[in-house]
Amino acid sequence: MAPGPDRTPDPGAGPERPSGDPDDPRRLRPTSPAALTATGVVALVVGWLLRPVLEAVSGAAPQMSWAQPATLLVVAAAVAWTAWATWRALQVRHERMEAHRAVNRLALGRASAYVGALVGGLYAGYAVSWLGLRAELAEARAIRSAVAALAGVVILVAGLVLERACRVRGDDPSP
């Protein structure tokens, strides 16, 4: 019997469900390395231009303390711990996870990867902009920015590990 105006088709039947085909456009794919690289490169250029533009506009470059890298390292540790806990639960102990929790962790992993690329690129560009300058605190700003950039890369890696930990056996393409 065909669905009428007051009947809807079964949501679990037909073409509405993604197939097992890895080329199905409705399947969620892992984060693209090209997109992360592009994000990081654009952020690097913006970070590199940030110092001279802000000096021209306001007459001073932004201050760089140890608070920024320390905060980023705390975020990196939180994402890494979540990735480890998720991997242990799903891959080692083979526990079931509620769908909304799995989607939230997947979204956190993907967002962390992009934010890590963005933050890492911005701070790396800012650090590079200080190289070779004899300005007051130039070396300290470059070092602190480099540590913050490294923390951004750790966030990126932890995000990718979390995204990977959310995969289940049926997600992996067959060899």
Sorted by where each begins, the domain ranges of the chain are: 40-54+65-168
**pTM for this structure?**
0.80
Give which of 64, 75, 152 is closest to 116, Cα–Cα.
Answer: 152
The pLDDT value given to residue 18:
52
Q: What averages of pLDDT result for each successive group of 10 residues across the chain (175 residues)? A: 51 52 69 93 96 89 90 97 94 87 93 97 95 84 95 97 83 50
Instruction: Quote the pLDDT of residue 97.
Output: 87
Half-sphere exposure of 117 (CA within 13 A, CB side): 19
Tell me the Ramachandran region of residue 14: left when phi exceeds 0, alpha when psi lies from -120 to 50, beta otherwise.
Answer: left
